[in-house]
Amino acid sequence: MKPTRARDLVAAAVVVGALTYTFMIFNYQNLPRFPHTAPLSLVIVGLVEVQTASITRRRLQGRPGTRPILPLTVARLAAIAKASSLAGAALAGAWASVFGYVLPRSDEFRTAGPDAITAGLGIGAAAVLVVGGLLLERVCRVPRP
């Protein structure tokens, strides 16, 4: 498995962002207000990945007080990290398009102001997920001899 490339993350963000913006153009009036807690799960998963990366690094280095980690477990963690960084990039694109759509329309729609705040929180939460995924993926790499 190859490391995640920045162009893959940017491509996912742009494609999902464009699709979300198109959806928002046609359906925003029919949507309920976005809850402010919507991006919270992304932050939690991102922080868990950062913590997992720290624990995995210590276990791979064989520090005292840690048990050895199975290679299959490291491969699974790498796959999860790669998937979550890509999902985080896609969600960042989606939240950015929501933010870009609702911010200029805060006078037009009553729910646009609170939705802009939620979208801003969503962009930050997706960034935490991307960083957590990339950090965990980096820890799981096989060191070069």
Q: pLDDT tens digit string along 20-58? A: 999 999 999 888 989 999 999 999 999 999 999 999 999
pLDDT, residue 106, reads 86
In a domain, 16, yes or no: no
In a domain, 59, yes or no: yes
Question: What are the C-alpha distances in Å from 90 to residues 11, 21, 23, 45?
Answer: 9, 13, 15, 15
In a domain, 73, yes or no: yes
In a domain, 110, yes or no: yes
- Cβ atoms < 10 Å from Cβ of 109: 15
Number of domains in the chain: 1
In a domain, 1, yes or no: no
In a domain, 17, yes or no: no
Q: Enter the pTM of the model.
A: 0.92
In a domain, 28, yes or no: no
> In the chain, which residues have pLDDT < 50?
none
Domain with 113 in it: 40-139
pLDDT, residue 89, reads 98
Where would I find the H helices in the chain? 6-27, 40-61, 71-102, 112-139
